[in-house]
Amino acid sequence: MPGVVIHLAVAKEYLKKQSLTDKMRLFEGSLAPDDAENPATTHHSSLDFHNDALSFLNGKINIYETLSDFDLNTDYGRGYFLHLITDYEYYNLVKRQRDYSCMPYRELKDSLHHDYNVTTSHFKEKYDIVLPDYLKRFDSELEGDPVALSLEQYDDFVKRMGEINLEEYYRALLNEKPNKSRK
């Protein structure tokens, strides 16, 4: 999943175009799915998402099964949904970069974690993100270049996700659900 700092950058971009009652609740919601005791349950991950890299990308989140987990009428729920679709779109973007059918799960996971670590300082600076104390464990200042996506692709991704219309996205998922939902 995208790192905490990317989720916060997406939330900041989203807030530039929205007028919400409680911006802090949106930020809290945008972190909540990963802050759960078992994030696999909040993401409705498939049981075999650890088998290989492609299973990971396809099974880390079942976006259709998350649709009843939040309330888009609340700022917290909007943040929660923004987090989930950010994960979903991120995995689809990564999947389009190359053929992952022969890559071991661990190799992909390590490359994604590498990217989180080397992009943290970039996103903190670009989006003026200050991590609260309870999130300091996600603070990383590793040097290097991202490998799953380029820094430009990460920037474009954050911008695109920040401009998303949550209601339209939600309706589109509801319309797709019968054809795409895993059983």
Tens of pLDDT, residues 21-57: 788 999 999 998 888 777 788 888 887 777 788 888 8
Q: In the chain, how many domains are there?
A: 1
Q: Which residue has the higher pLDDT, 21 or 89?
A: 89
Domain span at residue 105?
A: 4-180
Per-residue confidence band for 173, with pLDDT thresholds at 50, 70 and 90: very high
In angstroms, the CA 76 to CA 82 distance is 10
For 58-88, give one letter per residue: b (16+ CB within 10 A) or e.
bbbbbbbebbebbeeebbbbbbbbbbbbbbb
For the stretch 92-121, pLDDT in tens is: 999 999 888 888 989 999 999 999 999 999
Per-residue confidence band for 178, with pLDDT thresholds at 50, 70 and 90: low
Residue 11 near residue 159, CB atoms below 8 Å: no
pLDDT in the model for residue 80: 96
Least confident of 16-20, 26-30, 75-79, 135-139: 135-139
Q: Which two tokens stand for residue 167?
A: 């209601």
In angstroms, the CA 73 to CA 59 distance is 28
Per-residue confidence band for 1, with pLDDT thresholds at 50, 70 and 90: low
